[in-house]
Amino acid sequence: MRALQGLILLLSVAGSAAAQKVDEALPLPLPGPSLPPLDLSLLKDTSLCVFPFVKETAGGSSDKKYLESIQKTFFDVAKDSPLLKDAVLLGDTTSKCEPRDAACFSGVGKMARCQNVLVGSSAAKGNGFVLSVRIFEVAKQRVLPGSEVEQVLETDRQGDVQAWAEGQACRALQVKCVGRLYVDADRKDMNIYVDNRLAPRTFKTPEAIPVEPGVHAVRLTVGQRTSLEKKVAVRRGGFSETVFARQTEKGGLPLWLASELHGTRPDPSVDVQEGGWKKPVGYSMAAAGILAAGIGVYEGLHSKSLMNQANDNYKLNGGYFQSDLATIDSAKSSATTANILFAVGGVLLAAGLTTAFVF
C-alpha cells in the first residue's frame, strides 16, 4: 500500500507540473489607473504664453525646427481652449530659462503681458527622456497647482514627443481631442489591448480605434498567448501609422509599425493547433502508467516470494506458525496492490498515448 500511496503522490506532482505547463502563458494585466483629473480653474479667462520647448540636448538647425514644432503643438491646443482668454506664441528670441526657474519664466510672461506661462521640457534618462509640462503663474512666480505632468518616454522621435505634448496640452487645457489608432489584425480571435484596456472590435481592416492624442501601447492576445507591446504615436484629429498583427505557425504574435515594413505588408496569419500542452501531459501520463506497471511487477514478485517462504516453512514444520500467517497476509496485500497497479498503469498508459498522439 505504501507503493500505491507513493504512486498517487507522484501522479499528483505530475498533474501539478502539467497544469503549470498549461498556465505558463502570460496572464492579462489588469487595467492601469487612469490619470488624476486636473483642476485648472485658475486659468479661466486668463492669457497664456507658450514658451519655447526646453531641451537640454538642443543644438543645430534641425533640432531648432524640432523644438519649434513641439512649441507650436502646445500653442495650437491652447488656441482651442475654452478656459483661456487668449494664447501667445513666444518667439525664439525669448530669454533662456532653466526648466524650473519660476522667477525667470514669470519675468518673461510679465514682459509679454501674459498672466501664465506654459513650459514643456525634456531631460535625458536611460534610453529615453523624461518629458514634462507645467504652467507658471506670473503674479505669484510659482507653478500653478495641479498643472505639472511628467512622463518617461523611451524615445526621442519627433512624432512621439509631439503626440505626447498634444495629449498633455489637451488634458491640461480642457480641449476635447480625439485621434485614431489603426490596427490591422487579420484574425477574429485576436483581442486588441490599448494601454492594457480591451478595445472593442468591428472586424474591419484595419480597425480604427478612437483614442486621446499621445503615445499608446498596443498589444494583441489570442487565448492565453500575448504579443509584446508596440508604442504608437497618435495626433489629434489625425491618424496613427498602422500597426500590423499576425500569428505565426508556432503561435507567435509579432507586431510591426507600417514604417518598419517600408511599404510592404506582412504575410497572412497561420492557423495554429491550440493545446500544445497535450503532448507533454500525455507523455507524463504514459510515463506514470509504465511506472505503475513496474511497481506492480515488483509487488507481484514480492507477493510470490512471501508465499513461497510461508509454504517452505509449512513443509519444514508440518504446519503454519503465527509468523507464517503474518507473511501470508503480507503476500496477499502485495498481490492486491500489484493487481491495482497493473490496472491503473494500463489505464494511464492508454490515456497518455491517446492524449499525446490522437487529440
| Structure confidence by residue, pLDDT tens digits, 136-166 | 999 999 998 888 888 888 776 778 888 888 8
**What domain range is 81 assigned to?**
41-172
CA 175 – CA 198 distance, rounded (Å): 25
Q: Is residue 147 situated within a structural domain?
A: yes
Domain count, the chain: 3
For residues 346 and 248, state if they share a domain.
no
Last residue of a domain, one of 233, 261, 289: 261
Last residue of a domain, one of 155, 172, 189: 172
Q: What is the largest CA-CA distance in the chain?
A: 125
CA 22 – CA 19 distance, rounded (Å): 5
CATH code where residue 146 lies:
3.40.50.10070
For residues 57 and 138, state if they share a domain.
yes
Angle at 242 between CA 254 and CA 125, to 5 degrees: 75
Q: Is residue 32 situated within a structural domain?
A: no
CA 110 – CA 88 distance, rounded (Å): 12
- What's the whole-model pTM score? 0.61
Q: Which three cell numbers stand for residue 279?
A: 503532448
Q: Collapsing DSSP states into helix, strand and coil, what is residue 281? A: helix
pLDDT at 288: 87
pLDDT at 48: 93
Q: Is residue 78 situated within a structural domain?
A: yes
201: amino acid identity, one letter: R
Q: Which residues pair with 221 in a beta bridge?
A: 191, 226
For residues 46 and 160, state if they share a domain.
yes
CATH code where residue 211 lies:
2.60.40
pLDDT at 36 over 50: no
pLDDT at 338 over 50: yes
Q: In terms of DSSP H, where are the helices of the chain? A: 2-22, 61-79, 102-111, 158-172, 258-261, 278-317, 322-357
Q: Is residue 238 situated within a structural domain?
A: yes
What pLDDT, in 10s, does the model give residues 205-224? Answer: 899 999 989 889 999 999 98
- 227: Cβ–Cβ under 8 A, 6 or more apart, which residues? 219, 220, 221, 245, 252, 253, 254, 255
For residues 84 and 121, state if they share a domain.
yes
pLDDT at 229: 93
Q: Which three cell numbers stand for residue 26?
A: 502570460
How many CB atoms sit inside 10 A of residue 274's CB? 13
CA 134 – CA 335 distance, rounded (Å): 83
Angle at 223 between CA 220 and CA 226, to 5 degrees: 35
